[in-house]
Amino acid sequence: MNPAITEQIKWNAPSFSYTDYIATFNLHARQHVHLVFHNPSISRIQSPILEGDYPDRRMAYFSDMDDVRAKQPALEQVVSELIALMDEQA
């Protein structure tokens, strides 16, 4: 992944940023891992792992480690596309 991505705490949960925030884990979910992509540029990305039709965020859900492994290529593609969009806006 991109070494310029940093991790910090936002909303009392692990969050990731590049030049701006990328995503934050929703720690309230118990039945799955819930990752909230809350950068406005995420709405421009089409991916089967992104859910929701919000103007400024999308969700990704992972049921277990097998699901994480299965979705890893798509997740990496989403993050790469989002970074490219953020670079365009810089």
Q: For 53-84, write each residue's pLDDT tens digit.
A: 899 999 999 999 999 999 999 999 999 999 99
Q: Is 45 within the bounds of a domain? A: yes
* Residue 3 pLDDT: 86
Domain count, the chain: 1
* Residue 29 pLDDT: 83
* Tokens representing residue 56 in the block: 């400024």
User: Which residue range(s) make up the domain with 21?
Assistant: 12-84
Cα gap 55→85, rounded to integer Å:
16
Q: Is 4 within the bounds of a domain? A: no
Q: Is 36 within the bounds of a domain? A: yes
Q: Is 1 within the bounds of a domain? A: no
Return the half-sphere exposure (C-beta side, CA atoms, 13 A cut-off) of residue 5. 16
* Tokens representing residue 72 in the block: 């890893």
Q: Is 3 within the bounds of a domain? A: no
> Residue 31: which residues within 8 A CB-CB, separation 6 or more?
63
* pLDDT (tens digit per residue) in 5-28: 999 998 889 999 999 999 999 999
48 pLDDT more than 90: yes
Phi-psi region of 11 (alpha: psi -120 to 50; beta: other; left: phi over 0): left
Q: Is 27 within the bounds of a domain? A: yes
Q: Is 73 within the bounds of a domain? A: yes
Q: Is 31 within the bounds of a domain? A: yes
